[in-house]
Amino acid sequence: MEFKAKDIAALLKGVVEGDGEVLISNVSKIEEGKPNTLAFLANPKYEHYIYSTAASVVLVNQDFCPSREGSCTLIRGTSAYDAIASLLCMYEEIMRPKPQGIEQPSFIAEGVALGESVYVGAFAYIGKGAKIGNRVKIYPQAYIGEGVVIGDDTVIYAGVKIYYGCVIGSHCTVHAGTVIGADGFGFAPAGEDYKKVAQIGNVVLEDYVEVGANACIDRATMGSTRIKKGVKLDNLVQIAHNVVVGENTVMAAQCGIAGTTKVGAHCMFGGQVGVAGHLKIEDRTMLAAQTGVTNDVAAGSVFMGAPAFDAAKYRKCYVLFRKLPELYGQLRDLEKEIQTLKLKQ
């Protein structure tokens, strides 16, 4: 499938600079550009590639000012990143496989309510009383437990396990290997042993949530572990029992949120962030990769380090951290000089 540069520009409401008739048949990274492909430039540190890339067309920001001429056609838009994101979504919609029907062997228990145009892959299991919305796709070897509710236009990829009583909203995506609704980590000391605390709650994913591969979201001890509308969780994220994650919060891979912590809306967590239990992380908090949070965090905070503290202060401290061996050496020399002076007195 081929498109002209001017057609792509019209679709993205951008402006063409160069040959609007050049044909595009695929996309590429700007540093690995090939003829008849479209790339994008959003980060200034990649600007040097635009003058040598073999890509025929490059999406750039409206305010991009090249330092010299390049050979490629440019399409200017308000945001190159937003433009390529929109374009990739359209491309995926066209190219993505569209499986249909109920494959065999699969198991659908009695009393399951299936919506219209549902896809159920081979070896999938849907338990009693489950309610599956319209246009839901359940890929092979997925497990949908008893009483699970899945909203319209949601995609459950291969090998996902959704335990009984959990609720998945509309327009959600759950990637392969993720487990939703396993028991929370609840054990009470009983002498030399531990006694398991029954986890009788569930997990609720609201609409437009996306969960990466091999993530785990544990069911609540009582009530619900709740992932609110628009949340995006990366691969290998662990959400413990009774956690609430606010709207449109994003977490990169290997984050771990301990039990009963409340995370606000529009927060951004880098990879491997760890948050202790029973804390409150207010709205629009940003936590750098590998931050360890042990106390409540005020709205709008930017933290890094373990234990976490203000990112600007952390950077200043880090300058000193790197000099500690040198400073320690200087301190020892001073101690020796002082000791020598004392002996001379």
Treating both helix axes as pointing N-terminal to C-terminal, what angle do 80-95 and 5-12 enclose, rounded to 10 degrees? 110
**Rg from Cα positions in the chain:** 27
Alpha-helical runs (H) found in the chain: 5-12, 80-95, 311-344
The Cα–Cα gap between 203 and 208 comes to: 15
User: What are the b/e assignments for 269-304, b being 16+ CB within 10 Å?
Assistant: bbbbbbbeeebebbbbbbbbeebbbeeebeeebbbb
Which tokens sit at 166? 């959990």
Cis peptide bond prior to 140, omega within 30° of 0: no
CB-based contact 236:253 (threshold 8 Å): yes
Residue tagged active-site, from 48, 171, 175, 241: 241
The Cα–Cα gap between 139 and 151 comes to: 16
Annotation marks residue 241 as catalytic: yes
Annotated catalytic sites, by residue?
Answer: 241
